[in-house]
Amino acid sequence: MPSRIIRFITLILFFLALAAAQAAPLPIPKPPSTGAKAFIIKDFNSGRIIAEQDSDTQVEPASITKLMTAYVVFKELLSGNITLSDLVTVSEKAWRTPGSRMFIEVGKQVSVEDLLMGMIIQSGNDATVALAEYIAGSEETFAALMNRHAEEIGLQGSHFTNSTGLPDPDHYMTARDIARITELLIADFSEYYQWYSQKEFTFNEITQYNRNKLLWRDDSVDGVKTGHTESAGYCLVTSAVKDNMRLITVVLGTKSENARADASQALLNFGFRFYETHKLYDAGASLTDTRIWKGSTDSVSLGLNGPLYVTIPRGQYKSLDASMTIDNQITAPVTRGQALGTVQVQLGDELIAEHELIALQAVDEGSLWQRIVDEALLYFD
């Protein structure tokens, strides 16, 4: 073979190899070092865990506990058992509770709304205990209520003995559970969640500032909660939104206020820089129609009962592949919302999402004639 042909083939192979190298996605680096006892980065919409370290380790959560307290209070508001305008008489126990304070006074009446602001923005232990006593009669009973709700929503690594997060050997949470409760606060109580972005609150002519330094550093951050005791270290839960992507980060057990803020910012930057979230399908949108036998109609539309989001490494959207698996020989009657298959989303060989396909409308049993005809068709199929 002439040498110039060999050189030409070699040149083509070189450019093909170069093109393949450029097309291959760059490997994602390790998440930044945080110096924390545990951390997690979670995408709010898809639920994907982007990075984690010891996220199932049970640790002292300090005032991060108040996220669970807020969840219980918000549930009581939603159910109509209490209102924001209700007046709460401050007990001596609430007034004497050590730690961060809202500076409420014994015997005075304070609205539920003000107490919530004092708990959320100022992290007031006095306000937190006042709310717990108002809802459950005592803080001990309120802690039992917290544990009941925690079990209902699947917080498998948490247990509460008080509403504030003051140290107790039987009081603990995990980073994974904290991310989950934060997710629920954002999803289920958006009208109250906005308070977590407030930088200051004035009560009794005393102005105090939110200890979450990222509210001043980063406009994309809209919460969530700080925590600190000598034994727990400095903790911070954050949430931020960029380009329609919301991330939640949990950092537990760092050495200082600046360390928890820096670690949280680094984790947010890592998540936003190397990952992207896409909504693939809307809730209730018809993804396909499938045959239904012996029904009043011969087909039923299938879709999802909620939007389907995926979080993937940046630049790999075109590599996504979706497929559906549908039950064989679906026979009427079918109820609306009945699961009739699944939709799977893969990125390469990795299954990154799988959701039930449901019937988007009910299909009643067909007439006698329709059932006879379909029975014959099935027999000869």
The residues assigned a catalytic role are: 63, 66, 123
pLDDT of residue 329: 87
Tokens of 188: 């289920």
Tokens of 59: 């640790």
If residue 346 lies in a helix (H) or strand (E), which one and from where to where?
Answer: strand 339-347
If residue 299 lies in a helix (H) or strand (E), which one and from where to where?
Answer: strand 299-303
Are 225 and 64 within 8 A, CB to CB?
A: yes
pTM, two decimals, is 0.89
Are 67 and 301 within 8 A, CB to CB?
A: no
pLDDT of residue 26: 64
pLDDT of residue 377: 73
Question: Distance (Å, rounded) from C-alpha 305 to C-alpha 303?
Answer: 7
Structural domains of the chain, with CATH: 38-274 (3.40.710.10), 282-380 (2.60.410.10)
Phi-psi region of 174 (alpha: psi -120 to 50; beta: other; left: phi over 0): beta
- Low-confidence residues of the chain: pLDDT under 50: 5-23
Tokens of 77: 């508001």
- In the chain, the amino acid numbered 206 is I
Burial of residue 98 (number of CB atoms within 10 Å: 0-12, 13-18, 19+) = exposed
Question: Distance (Å, rounded) from C-alpha 129 to C-alpha 363?
Answer: 53
Q: Which residues pair with 283 in a beta bridge?
A: none
| Alpha helix segments (H runs only) across the chain | 3-23, 66-79, 92-96, 112-120, 125-136, 139-152, 175-188, 190-193, 214-217, 257-274, 368-380
pLDDT of residue 318: 93
Question: Distance (Å, rounded) from C-alpha 212 to C-alpha 182?
Answer: 15
Residue with tokens 């040498």: 3
Per-residue DSSP letters for 4-72? HHHHHHHHHHHHHHHHHHHHSPPPPPPPPP---SEEEEEETTT--EEEEESTT--B--GGGGHHHHHHH
Helix axes 66-79, 175-188, angle to 10 degrees: 30
- In the chain, the amino acid numbered 320 is L
Query: pLDDT digit string (tens) for 215-273?
Result: 999 999 999 999 999 999 999 999 999 988 999 999 999 999 999 999 999 999 999 99
Tokens of 315: 């630049």
